[in-house]
Chains A and B, each alone.
Chain A
Amino acid sequence: MTVVFDAVLVLLVLAVTLRMLTSREPFEAVVLFVAFGLAMALVWVRAGAVDVALAEIALGAGVTGALLVNTVRRLRAKAPEWLELPEPSVARAAVPVACGALAAAAAFAATRFAPAAEPLGPRIAARVAETPVSHPVTAVLLDFRAYDTLLEIAVLFGGLVSVWAVERGRAAVPPPATPAREPVLAALVGWIVPLAVIAAVYLTWMGSHGPGGAFQAGALLAGAGVLLLAAGFAQPYRSDSAAMRLFAAAGLLTFAGAALYTAVAGDAMLRYPAAAGYWWILGIEAVLTVSIAAILAEQFADVPAGPSSAGEDA
């Protein structure tokens, strides 16, 4: 029975992807991208990767979807010609064919590998007890491979800095007139935003012993921020505001500071002091959550939110 379910799921992912890639209408493609993210999340759940499923929903479908909707809306207003897709041609058809061939080759190659003599999963499971946390995914992300996560945060922050660089020198967008508050939306925002904050705190804490963590929690907080912006409850921040820069940089600064401290004063870089390791990880995760939320939400920074846009973003 689960085979039938998996087969239907695979067909769903393929159908949504095909429709998304061949869509002639950008907004439709974005909606299909969100649907693709939800379908992929189901795939991750079926593969037992609940952490990845959470990240796929929150980051892949949620925040990225909202960013794409925003992009389409801004392009429609400022440069509609960019949204006109070229006519289908042999050259364009060659791209998905080549991608499909590459994927098939990779899938074939994957079947040729002999199973590892010592699979990674059991090895990690055997050594999770040496880390301050009990969830293997968090043990990998913030202990065994903490260096990778540090670099991920650096990449994320670098992305925001490049957005700032592009925005720099452009005419400042005047703050929007207070949008007409939509009462139904206002009631929903009043409920959802506090719940999202509670859920983000819960997810951050949950990361130490179950699926969750800074990325999922940060994306959730960012979603609350995007909702506040789109519904006209928050003014778009200015990228030269010192507070917003501090929020965005805090995660990288804290993480890099912890790396530097442990490298100089401790045993090795990012080997946390044994006694307080749990609090080191929880502290880094908490600051990362705020920073990731700030970085993601600030991508919406200079977009004046109006009442007519609220429907699309919600």
Chain B
Amino acid sequence: MDILVAALVAAGAFFFLAGTVGLLRFPDVFSRLHALTKADNLGLGLIVLGLALHSVSWLVALKLVITWLLVLGATATTCHLIARTGLERGLPHDRPPHDPNAGAAP
């Protein structure tokens, strides 16, 4: 069990690391958002899963899962708002602005 917990938390940390590298290395706002939200949500999910397995009671596990869901909702919304504002302000990105996928990409 401990090995499983450690593996899950380590995998979560890896996604955080990948997301951070993406945030630092990707060229524009939209691909950075893509790196951040995908990686952080998954990373936090794996860490929460690991900690929930590790936790002493199901109540703590439930609180952890609720935290993850709240963060999911908040980051997805924030990401959407930042991306939308970026599009409205005409920030540079790789795809042409009228590409139907552009708004949905992050």
Contact = CB atoms under 8 A, between A and B. Distances in A.
A182 B81 contact: yes
B62 interface: no
B70 A314 contact: no
Nearest to B79: A184
A314 B78 contact: yes
B85 A185 contact: no
Contacts of B84: 182, 311
Interface size class of A (residues with CB under 8 A): 10 to 19
B55 interface: no
Interface in A276-314: 308, 310-311, 314
Contacts of A314: 74, 77-78, 81
Contacts of B74: 188, 192, 314
Contact of B73 (A192, A308, A310): A192
B100 to A, nearest CB: 17
A187 B80 CA distance: 12
A195 interface: yes
Nearest to A189: B77
B68 to A, nearest CB: 14
A292 to B, nearest CB: 22
Nearest to A185: B77
Interface residues on B, range: 10 to 19
Contacts of A310: 81
B24 interface: no
A195 B70 contact: yes
Contacts of B73: 188, 191-192
B80 A184 contact: yes
A247 B43 CA distance: 42
Contacts of A195: 70
B82 interface: yes
Given A184-B77, A184-B80, A188-B77, A311 B85 contact: yes
Contacts of A188: 73-74, 77
Contacts of B77: 184-185, 187-188, 314
Nearest to A183: B80
A214 to B, nearest CB: 22
B33 to A, nearest CB: 12
A311 B81 contact: yes
A267 B85 CA distance: 61
Nearest to A191: B73
A182 B82 CA distance: 12
Contacts of B80: 184-185
Contacts of A185: 77, 80-81
Nearest to B74: A188
B74 to A, nearest CB: 7
Contacts of A191: 73
Interface string A158-201: 00000000000000000000000010110110011001000000
Interface string B67-96: 000100110111011101100100000000
B82 A311 contact: yes
Contacts of A182: 81, 84
A263 B76 CA distance: 53
18 contacts: A182-B81, A182-B84, A184-B77, A184-B80, A185-B80, A185-B81, A188-B74, A192-B70, A192-B74, A308-B85, A310-B81, A311-B78, A311-B82, A311-B84, A311-B85, A314-B74, A314-B77, A314-B78
Given A185-B77, A192-B70, 19 more contacts: A182-B81, A184-B76, A184-B77, A184-B80, A184-B81, A185-B80, A187-B77, A188-B73, A188-B77, A191-B73, A192-B74, A195-B70, A308-B85, A308-B88, A310-B81, A311-B78, A311-B81, A314-B77, A314-B81
